[in-house]
């Protein structure tokens, strides 16, 4: 009888624990990324083939993925697959969570609602090309020149290249008269050159982002044409040449040298062209866009209506086409030079997020204010995420500022729940391992609780009936004891 009494009590204790566990599951049916608890029982020791009741064997988390819900929240994120976000509180201990309801805190870092900072790989500034000592996009840099995302090593390394300039259309002016005949440029031709180089730069940057290689540098095409100055004598004489399908003409003015200088200035008005002439009549025509071929033909000195024979020879050093990053940088330098000739300033910033070989990396907080990152004078940008890579979009420019990394464990059941959707690593869970192919991070999405309300309610009823049954065995044992004690009277 005493054994039955004690067995019933173990049942009451066990199912009370089960009721508590299942009630907790139901209470968290709407908790973001909550993982429900599964309870299992084991029978206790036996004596003379008679069991001594029941005990709670294990209470384990069920880490099956919950349903995913698109929220359109800018900073919301969900893990599709295995793994945990890494976060830090006020201590150096890293804790882990499946909840991705992040927000940007006042200090610009990415945090959970409880203030824990999300850990990841911050971006590094690796390349700056500037017309002066400035290395931050200020309000003066109002001209967008290019922005591109370049991914290498299967996407583990992400680089964003962003280029801007000051308002060269306002600062540009005609060159000084002292430069006439020597690559002289008007205000309009300077602006046209910049626009042509900017288009070439954007196009080549797009090609490079699709096929990122080191490549080889591109060069400019240079043509030399020796004009016989003795054939230019009076107002009936003229010069002409065809470049890139356009025919340039110049009537005789004052002297042969003056005529050639004016001719060079006329050619220099052509988009993407520069021309100069020396005192002996040798003219040099340069194509300003590296890697671009321009056909130079039909150079003539015309006396009246008759072309001088033989015509001036044309000697052309062909442009090297170039490829990859080296070609982009060749065009970029030409673009920078053209902007500076228009009294403008050029600035290129490159940021790199290197998530390759994560085992060698140190994670830290992720900053999302562009002024704190020393990228832009304006702190704010629109947040965008691509499988954990964080971008901030400001106007037409997009900057990579970091990557959220996740962790996996050899035995995730060994993690210790801490409340607040947080878990701590233990000896049973094993050491953290950086996730690589185990998951995908989805932006503007949250993982819901995997607690099933209908299943929980059924379990509550089962546990309630089991509790009632065990209570009956206790009362029955008590009645037996009363009867036994009554036999003494």
pLDDT, tens digit (0-9, with 9 covering 90-100), for 155-171 = 999 999 999 999 999 99
Phi, psi of 217 (to 5 degrees): -70, 150
Are the CB atoms for 320 and 293 separated by under 8 Å?
no
The CA distance from 352 to 349, in Å, is 10
Q: Over 70: is that where the pLDDT of 4 sits?
A: no
pLDDT number for residue 106? 93
The CA distance from 423 to 95, in Å, is 6
Burial of 157 (0-12, 13-18, 19+ CB in 10 A): middle
pLDDT digits (tens, 9 = 90+) for 203-216: 999 999 999 999 99
Q: Over 70: is that where the pLDDT of 311 sits?
A: yes
The CA distance from 54 to 480, in Å, is 22
Strand runs labelled E in 198-287: 222-226, 237-243, 246-251, 273-277, 282-287
pLDDT number for residue 11? 65
Would you place residue 130 in the very low, low, confident or very high pLDDT band (cuts 50, 70, 90)?
very high
Other CB atoms within 10 Å distance of the CB of residue 178: 8
Are the CB atoms for 375 and 399 separated by under 8 Å?
yes
Q: How far is CA 32 from the centre of its chain?
A: 26
pLDDT digits (tens, 9 = 90+) for 257-288: 999 999 999 999 999 999 999 999 999 999 99
For residue 234, what are its two tokens? 């009076």
Q: Rounded to a whole number, what is the distance in angstroms from the first to the last CA of the chain?
A: 20
Burial of 145 (0-12, 13-18, 19+ CB in 10 A): buried
**Least-confidence region, from 23-32, 35-44, 219-228, 377-386:** 35-44
What mean pLDDT do residues 25-37 have?
92
Would you place residue 488 in the very low, low, confident or very high pLDDT band (cuts 50, 70, 90)?
low
Q: Over 60: is that where the pLDDT of 1 sits?
A: no
Residue 198 three-state SS: helix
38 Cβ contact partners less than 8 Å away, ≥ 6 residues apart: 59, 60, 61, 62
The CA distance from 143 to 134, in Å, is 16
The CA distance from 136 to 151, in Å, is 24
Helices of type H across 211-323: 256-268
**Least-confidence region, from 91-95, 135-139, 243-247, 396-400:** 91-95
The CA distance from 317 to 110, in Å, is 55
Mean residue pLDDT across the chain = 91
Would you place residue 457 in the very low, low, confident or very high pLDDT band (cuts 50, 70, 90)?
confident
What mean pLDDT do residues 300-320 have?
94
The CA distance from 280 to 295, in Å, is 24
Q: Which has the higher per-residue pLDDT, 436 or 227?
A: 227
pLDDT digits (tens, 9 = 90+) for 385-418: 999 999 999 999 999 999 999 999 999 999 999 9
Q: Over 80: is that where the pLDDT of 10 sits?
A: no
Of the candidates 154, 213, 158, the one whose C-alpha atom is nearest the C-alpha of residue 351 is: 158
Of 40-44, 328-332, 448-452, 485-489, give the range with the top mean pLDDT: 328-332
pLDDT number for residue 480? 65
pLDDT digits (tens, 9 = 90+) for 175-214: 999 999 999 999 999 999 999 999 999 999 999 999 999 9
Q: Over 90: is that where the pLDDT of 472 sits?
A: no
Of the candidates 87, 107, 106, the one whose C-alpha atom is nearest the C-alpha of residue 98 is: 87
Are the CB atoms for 438 and 408 separated by under 8 Å?
yes
Helices 187-210, 324-341: crossing angle, 10 deg rounding: 160
pLDDT number for residue 9? 75
Could you tell me what percent of the chain has a pLDDT over 90? 78
Q: How far is CA 367 from the centre of its chain?
A: 13
């Amino acid at each position: 009888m005493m054994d039955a009494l004690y067995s019933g009590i173990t049942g009451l204790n066990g199912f009370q624990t089960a009721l508590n566990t299942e009630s907790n599951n139901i209470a968290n049916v709407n908790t973001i990324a909550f993982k429900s608890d599964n309870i299992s029982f084991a029978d206790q020791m036996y004596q003379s083939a008679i069991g001594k009741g029941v005990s709670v064997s294990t209470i384990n988390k069920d880490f099956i993925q919950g349903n995913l819900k698109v929220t359109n929240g800018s900073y919301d994120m969900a893990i599709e697959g295995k793994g945990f976000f890494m976060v830090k509180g006020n201590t150096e201990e890293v804790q882990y969570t499946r909840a991705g309801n992040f927000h940007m805190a006042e200090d610009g870092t990415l945090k959970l609602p409880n203030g824990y900072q999300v850990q990841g790989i911050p971006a590094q500034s690796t390349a700056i090309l500037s017309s002066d000592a400035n290395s931050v996009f200020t309000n003066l840099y109002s001209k967008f020149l290019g922005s591109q995302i370049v991914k290498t090593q299967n996407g583990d390394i992400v680089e964003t290249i962003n280029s801007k300039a000051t308002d060269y259309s306002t600062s540009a002016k005609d060159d000084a008269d002292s430069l006439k005949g020597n690559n002289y440029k008007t205000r309009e031709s300077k602006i046209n050159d910049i626009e042509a180089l900017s288009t070439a730069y954007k196009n080549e940057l797009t090609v490079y982002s699709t096929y990122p290689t080191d490549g080889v540098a591109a060069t400019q095409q240079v043509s030399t044409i020796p004009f016989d100055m003795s054939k230019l004598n009076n107002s009936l004489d003229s010069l002409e040449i065809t470049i890139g399908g356009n025919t340039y003409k110049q009537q005789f003015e004052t002297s042969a040298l003056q005529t050639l200088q004016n001719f060079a200035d006329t050619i220099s008005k052509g988009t993407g062209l520069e021309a100069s002439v020396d005192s002996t009549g040798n003219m040099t025509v340069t194509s300003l866009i590296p890697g671009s071929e321009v056909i130079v033909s039909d150079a003539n000195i015309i006396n009246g209506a008759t072309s001088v024979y033989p015509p001036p020879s044309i000697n052309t050093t062909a442009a090297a086409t170039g490829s990859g990053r080296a070609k982009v940088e060749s065009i970029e330098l030409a673009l920078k030079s053209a902007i500076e000739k228009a009294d403008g300033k050029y600035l290129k910033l490159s940021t790199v997020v290197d998530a390759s070989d994560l085992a060698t990396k140190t994670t830290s907080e992720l900053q999302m204010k562009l002024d704190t990152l020393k990228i832009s004078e304006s702190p704010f940008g629109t947040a965008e995420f691509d499988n954990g890579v964080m971008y901030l979009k400001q106007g037409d420019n997009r900057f990579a500022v970091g990557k959220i990394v996740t962790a996996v464990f050899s035995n995730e059941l060994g993690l210790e729940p801490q409340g607040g959707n947080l878990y701590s690593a233990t000896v049973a869970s094993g050491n953290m391992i950086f996730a690589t192919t185990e998951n995908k991070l989805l932006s503007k999405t949250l993982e819901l609780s995997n607690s099933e309300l209908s299943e929980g309610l059924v379990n509550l009823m089962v546990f309630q009936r089991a509790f009632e049954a065990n209570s009956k065995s206790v009362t029955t044992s008590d009645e037996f004891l009363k009867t036994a004690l009554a036999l003494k009277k």
